[in-house]
Amino acid sequence: MAVILLIVLGSAGVFLGTSEAQKEFSELPVNYKKGVELALQNVNSHAGIKNHFLFFKSLGKSDLDGGFGVSYIYHHFNLKPTECPKGTTDASATKCAFRNDKPLIDCGICYKIHAGVILNEPKPYINCVFKPQFTQDLMATRIEHCNNMSYANGSPSLLTVRKL
């Protein structure tokens, strides 16, 4: 009986964690969701990935209003593997529970968006690595790359303008 209770409680914790992460995703502004979806598409299409990944949590966000409906976005977040195999079409929180035995993927992404569409110029920068390989040097490289992207408005650094 105690074993069954532990299994039920453990399962509830997995689903609670998954649903909380998906709640955080659903509360992201639309312009940030688009970037997360782009990163997920990139990660889930990689040949070395065996499990389906989902958004786990935001670590940092900033944006810059470029005027005329243009925004420059930077988003730092984690992705977490699920129990579902790569290629799962319906990876909702109820069907694909998070795995705790695999490392997170740390992602940094910056892009230009207009009217809800991520623009191809400048090319969106997506940098996602497994957490064990993530270093402060990599973080500095990400920030430098995003700051040096060719934004036409001559604005100051994207990452120093406004933190959300």
- Three-state SS annotation for 128-162: EEEHHHCCHHHHHHHHHHHHHCCCCCCCCCHHHCC
Considering the chain, what is the average pLDDT of its residues? 82
Share of the chain above pLDDT 70, in %: 77
pTM, 2 dp: 0.79
Domain tally, the chain = 1
Query: CATH number for the domain including 41?
Result: 3.10.450.10
Cis omega before residue 124 (within 30°)? no
Q: Whole-angstrom Cα distance, residue 17 to residue 40?
A: 19
Note down the domain range covering 20.
Answer: 2-160
Share of the chain above pLDDT 90, in %: 59
Q: pLDDT for 71-116, tens place per residue?
A: 999 999 999 999 999 888 776 656 789 999 999 999 999 999 999 9
Q: Whole-angstrom Cα distance, residue 93 to residue 1?
A: 28
pLDDT of residue 17: 52
Beta bridge partners of 163: 62
